[in-house]
Amino acid sequence: ETGVTQTPRHLVMGMTNKKSLKCEQHLGHNAMYWYKQSAKKPLELMFVYSLEERVENNSVPSRFSPECPNSSHLFLHLHTLQPEDSALYLCASSQDLEGGSNQPQHFGDGTRLSIL
């Protein structure tokens, strides 16, 4: 139990569907992150939120749309995805913005996304 919960754990969707991934952290952290993890590749940082404000968008296609309604919840809205978007999507949180000190990030178990 890491204190970060992601739902759903698995998602299969067609390229024309719209779905959302949900992340909730119970750690009282101020920063939250979305990562994409593909096989044998480094974690790709997608979005960073600090105190509910988006502070980073790493050139992510607009078919991915994040939302952070409060410091405990983070969503990733998906629409018209491509087959290459199939991956594990990880949510993480940290006390404050990434790497500012020796604060580790706490990860959820991820959503395994498959695009048909």
Partner 1 sequence: GQNIDQPTEMTATEGAIVQINCTYQTSGFNGLFWYQQHAGEAPTFLSYNVLDGLEEKGRFSSFLSRSKGYSYLLLKELQMKDSASYLCAVVDSNYQLIWGAGTKLIIKP
Q: Which residues bind partner 1 (CB under 8 A)?
A: 2, 4, 40-43, 45, 90, 97-100, 102, 104-110, 112
**DSSP helix/strand/coil, 116:** coil
Q: What residues have CB less than 8 Å from 102, skipping those under 6 apart? A: none
Q: Please give the structure tokens belonging to residue 110.
A: 């991820």
Give me the least distance between CB of 111 and partner 1, in Å please: 11
- The residue among 79 and 112 lying less far from partner 1, judged by its C-beta, is 112
Tokens 């395994």 correspond to 112
Give me the least distance between CB of 7 and partner 1, in Å please: 14
Q: What residues have CB less than 8 Å from 99, skipping those under 6 apart? A: none
- The residue among 66 and 108 lying less far from partner 1, judged by its C-beta, is 108
Give me the least distance between CB of 22 and partner 1, in Å please: 15
- The residue among 6 and 81 lying less far from partner 1, judged by its C-beta, is 6
Answer whether 6's CB lies under 8 Å from 109's CB: yes
Give me the least distance between CB of 89 and partner 1, in Å please: 12
